[in-house]
Structure 1
Amino acid sequence: MKNAFANSNLHSRKHSHSQTAVKFQKLVVFGMGNINLALPSDAVFKVTNQVPVYGSGFNGVGLAHFGDRQITIVELHRRFFTAKGKYLIIVENKVGELYGIPVASVPTLIDVPLSRIQVLPDSYRHADLLAIATHVCHIPQAETSLTVFLLDVDQLLPSS
């Protein structure tokens, strides 16, 4: 699988000492239980307060009203056994359908060098709960690095 993030919302910065352009990907990062997940910023339509969700509640998918549109709510917190969210990340897939992901706290926008984003092995993707993640990145921080799994918007809905 090639790096699908290479063609999304990229920007370059030049380092003054070398004048070499480094390509970055803007990611919207959020916590889900004890892991960190992210979406490419160009897939994020809006972040808003949580709205009422309607549906049977049996399969981790619901429906919400957003203006004059209906949004399929993907309740990832059920897959990861975490508390329900206070906020809603609204994302748009390749065909223009909107999905909502409830999250507990406001997500963070982070610039990540493309060189830090790596494709997840297929064996891991098919064996783990994170089958919706396609890439992983390690972001250095003050005390330890932050490991972030990058989600594929087109794979958010559970397979039936």
Structure 2
Amino acid sequence: MFANTLSNKWVETITLVTTLDLIVFEVDRIGFGIPMTKIDRIISSVFLGEDYSLTQNVDILDLHYHLTGESIVSPTSIVLWIDAHQQLAAIPIETVPVMVSVPLDRIRTLPSDFRQQDQLGIASHIAIITDDENTESTIFILAD
């Protein structure tokens, strides 16, 4: 009887993961996502103001510069996340990020030859998400 009680408690705590929660944002009309489990915090530039001390000792990944050749002059937000090297990194963005739950069957691993051609080398997966108007968007998920 004691074993059945433990077994039932264990079974009740099992939850099947069917979605991945991502923080999603755009850089130059390209969608990017970072798993919620990797997010440290998101800082509004209104809160940040001119005091960038919150981002000291953080590697800045300027995706906008890598994609367009120009840096963002006044970012709306800064996303702080734990990168593939387990270091704190920051991405300045012009849009307000949103959280999206993506079904796992809508996520695919990028082929290794594509990842090697990627100049940034940071996207590991791709996801197709659908918004409220049933418009599909491609999201590049940053590497684990």
TM-score of Structure 1 vs Structure 2, range by shorter chain? 0.7 to 0.9
Distance in 2 between residues matched to 1:108 and 1:152, nearest whole Å: 19
What amino acid does structure 1 have at the position aligned with 2:138?
Answer: T
Distance in 1 separating the partners of 2:54 and 2:90: 10
Q: Which amino acid aligns with 1:75?
A: D
Distance 1:123 1:93, change over 3 A: closer
Letter matched to residue 134 of structure 1: S
- Tell me how far 1:22 sits from its aligned partner: 6.1
State the Cα distance separating 1:49 from its structure 2 match. 2.3
Shift, 1:130, TM fit: 5.0
Alignment of 1:92-131 (within 5 A): 92-93=82-83, 97-129=87-119, 131=121
Gaps of 5+ in 2: 1-13
Cα displacement string for residues 30-72 of structure 1 (whole angstroms, at most 9, x for unaligned residues):
001021000001111110124559xxxxxxxxxx5218x6222
The answer to whether the Cα contact below 8 Å between 1:27 and 1:39 also exists between their aligned partners in 2 is yes
Q: CA RMSD in A?
A: 2.6
- The answer as to whether partners of 1:65 and 1:71 remain within 8 angstroms in 2 is no
Query: CA–CA distance in 2 between the matches of 1:35 and 1:111?
Result: 18
Size of the aligned set, in residue pairs, is 124
TM-score, normalised to structure 1, is: 0.67
Change (3 A) 1:97 1:65: farther
Helix, strand or coil at the partner of 2:113: helix
Q: Percent sequence identity over matched residues?
A: 26
**Over alpha carbons, which structure has the higher Rg?**
2
Match runs of 1:63-74 below 5 Å: 64-66=52-54, 70-74=57-61
- Between the aligned partners of 1:90 and 1:105, the Cα distance in structure 2 is 15
| 2:42 paired with 1:47 | yes
1:77 corresponds to which residue?
64
Alignment-derived partner of residue 76 in structure 2: 86
Q: TM-score, normalised by structure 2?
A: 0.73
More strand by share: 1
After superposition, the Cα gap between the structure-2 partners of 1:130 and 1:97, relative to the gap in structure 1 and judged at 3 Å, is closer
Q: After the TM superposition, which parts of structure 1 deviate over 6 Å for at least 4 consecutive aligned residues?
A: none
Higher helix fraction (1 or 2): 2
Task: Provide the C-alpha distance between the structure 1 equivalents of 2:118 and 2:64, rounded to a whole number of angstroms.
Answer: 16
